[in-house]
Amino acid sequence: MSSLSITPLSTALGAQISGVDISQPLNLEQHDAIEQALLKHQVLFFREQPINPQQQARFAANFGDLHIHPIYPNVPEQPEVLILDTAETDVRDNAVWHTDVTFLPTPALGAVLSAKLLPEFGGDTLWASGIAAYEALSVPLQNLLQGLTATHDFIKSFPLERFGTTPEALAQWEAARKKNPPLSHPVIRTHPVSGRRSLFVNEGFTTRINELSDTESEAILKLLFAHATRPEFTIRWRWQESDVAFWDNRVTQHFAVDDYRPARRVMHRATVLGDVPF
């Protein structure tokens, strides 16, 4: 019998997991329990898990292939683990509600975030459930949105003026832009495992709803961005050093609160690739 324990943290999403050491290889029972908890609770939190980049990548790889980010720096010996260090990189694009890498044809299934260096206060992260947000919409609005698609664009969160400021950075940005042109995903996404529907637009990367006029698109996106992040659909995590969060990126958004400057904050993230949204 597994000693893994799951403690729900709110109705909409979030659970704390204990009784497992994720620095070690998971057995089948642990893997399945974590996978099922992720499907149910959408974001999982693990306290006191001082994992190194190799252990972080191994844990994340239990759930799929890992992504190498086109812009953010990574751990040289473990390039699948990116570094979010406020002393080195402009990370203000994380201080907006976003779903990771929706500019990819196969956006992330999930991500594993590890706290390495924290400010004395501040620096919390919030997550919002796209499932809870969708289910709270009126049926007429659900019907209107079903079948619509939206454009997601890499440069909305990675604009040239911030990420092309040196010749080396410019070359990296141009290569990333060429590899990641704007693309479309459904406004309402069906979870490939649970079958539940979720809002799948986010302020970080979504630029317009394709089937609507510019004015209509702007109005509907403004409504959806505000609706999706209502407090009752969210959870806020106060980080402690060596905490790890693992979230289902298919049905959530998150927001890293930028309220601790000039203190430094360092996080490591491993991103698990997913599938084509439908």
Answer yes or no: 227 catalytic: no
Which segments within 1-123 are labelled E, that is strand? 5-8, 15-18, 43-46, 66-67, 74-75, 78-85, 108-117
Alpha helices for 137-256 (secondary structure H): 139-145, 160-163, 167-179, 214-228
In terms of Cβ atoms closer than 10 Å to its own Cβ (0-12, 13-18, 19+), residue 234 is buried
Is residue 18 within 8 Å of residue 34, measured between CB atoms? no
Taking the C-alpha atoms of residue 115 and residue 89, their distance in angstroms, rounded to an integer, is 16
Neighbours of 11 (CB within 10 A): 11
What's the CA angle centered on 250, arms 132 and 74, to 5 degrees? Answer: 130
Element at 128 (helix H, strand E): strand 125-129
- Exactly one of 58, 152, 189, 254 is catalytic; name it: 254
Answer yes or no: 152 catalytic: no
Answer yes or no: 269 catalytic: yes
Give the single-character DSSP code of 174.
H
3 state SS of 211: coil
Answer yes or no: 41 catalytic: no
- Exactly one of 93, 100, 153, 248 is catalytic; name it: 100
Cα–Cα distance list, 52 to 14, 90, 116, 117, 271 (Å): 24, 23, 10, 13, 15
- Exactly one of 67, 69, 98, 191 is catalytic; name it: 98
- Which residues are identified as catalytic? 98, 100, 254, 269
